[in-house]
Structure 1
């Protein structure tokens, strides 16, 4: 029998994607249908009304595999993570994505006027369809306006600098936004902002990147169930339940603290590929 990681397996107990024919048995198979997250943020759950595994931000593309009782089982396009989210959070036929939120967070306004009451808030990493620029605001193809200072149409080039924008963000298990993030969510946000593909959970991240012998800026540092991003050979940034926030720590001091708490051992260093410089617009 084939054993597949449920987090990355696009199948429920009733339906699987066509690519799994001959791999797992299900009553039916589907090519899936494309959709996009139209909610500002949504939990990706283990079951309808279940436990949060991860989160997806506004504009995330997904493949819908099954719809059941107001819930959709989906696979996220950017990292392959699967789970359930409310069907009402999804939309189809939306304009092409052109930009992403680069600030830690931003507001959506009903008009290009910062004195208007905000309609919603978006986190870093949210993907946008910009239809035009009006003064200091970008007009979204999905409705509303966001400050041009908070968005970009090119990837970042330094994952550590991206992570530093999220200093002080509260810790949230399975979180992927400015309003709450966990250790692997912070790493994923930092790398994907630089167009470096990155899985959603720390064990998947550890398995995905090659081993390194010495610590340099941008390396990932692993403990059981935990990951941090090296800022230098002796400093790191991470989302930690120890502080319930994103913090900067001395690497030697963090190693000693984690060992003393019985949460070790240190599992080593992994090195994501370097981000490529952004292409001028």
Structure 2
């Protein structure tokens, strides 16, 4: 799987309903569900953490996430397929998948669906990972 393949898989999820803890694109997805569904669409069998709250002052326990998904931490600039954790507010962390420099797919709780749009500059990037090229 390449970053470009992950970006295409994420883009295909745009319009999916938002559902906290959602893991099935037919029913609904949250931001971690978008990541899981995009990886599955690329042929990667993954099950990501669940049972977290929408708002929290602490970053969720993600220590094993990069290794589990074959991701490597990387500095900017962002390229298609990069996975980022942002902090939209002091009590919220959020995952997004880059589809191009400055554009991301993410599950938008306010709009109640998965969307693609420009990166919001006031959302600080906490972590950024890039897929290792993996062939299925």
Q: If the length of structure 1 is used for normalisation, what is the TM-score? A: 0.36
Whether the aligned pair in 1 keeps the contact of 2:11 and 2:99 (CA below 8 Å) is no
Partner of 1:265: 124
Superposition deviation, residue 210 in structure 1: 2.0
Report how many residues are paired.
114
Distance 1:195 1:273, change over 3 A: farther
Partner of 2:48: 200
Residue ranges of structure 2 left out of the alignment (5+ in a row): 50-59, 88-92
Whether the aligned pair in 1 keeps the contact of 2:15 and 2:113 (CA below 8 Å) is yes
Whether the aligned pair in 1 keeps the contact of 2:72 and 2:132 (CA below 8 Å) is no
Moved over 4 A (4+): none
State the alpha-carbon separation in 1 of the partners of residues 63 and 114 from structure 2: 19
Identify which of 160, 182, 197 aligns with 2:7. Answer: 160
The Cα RMSD (Å) is 2.7
Question: Residues 215-254 of structure 1: matches in 2 within 5 Å?
Answer: 215-224=78-87, 225-251=93-119, 254=120
Identify which of 181, 185, 204 aligns with 2:29. Answer: 181
Superposition deviation, residue 189 in structure 1: 1.1
State the alpha-carbon separation in 1 of the partners of residues 28 and 63 from structure 2: 20
Q: How big is each residue's C-alpha offset from its partner over 1:127-162, in whole Å with a ceiling of 9 and x where there is no partner?
A: xxxxxxxxxxxxxxxxxxxxxxxxxxxx89812222
Q: How big is each residue's C-alpha offset from its partner over 1:194-224, in whole Å with a ceiling of 9 and x where there is no partner?
A: 2346551475278523211121110001124
Question: Residues 83-122 of structure 1: matches in 2 within 5 Å?
Answer: none
Whether the aligned pair in 2 keeps the contact of 1:175 and 1:185 (CA below 8 Å) is yes
Q: How big is each residue's C-alpha offset from its partner over 1:223-242, in whole Å with a ceiling of 9 and x where there is no partner?
A: 24210000011111111213
User: Secondary structure at 1:170's aligned position in 2?
Assistant: coil
User: Secondary structure at 1:271's aligned position in 2?
Assistant: strand
Residue ranges of structure 1 left out of the alignment (5+ in a row): 1-154
Q: Which has the higher strand share?
A: 1
Q: How big is each residue's C-alpha offset from its partner over 1:169-206, in whole Å with a ceiling of 9 and x where there is no partner?
A: 11100001121100011111111322346551475278
Q: If the length of structure 2 is used for normalisation, what is the TM-score? A: 0.69
- The higher-RCO structure (CA 8 Å, 6+ apart) is 2
State the alpha-carbon separation in 2 of the partners of residues 192 and 205 from structure 1: 21
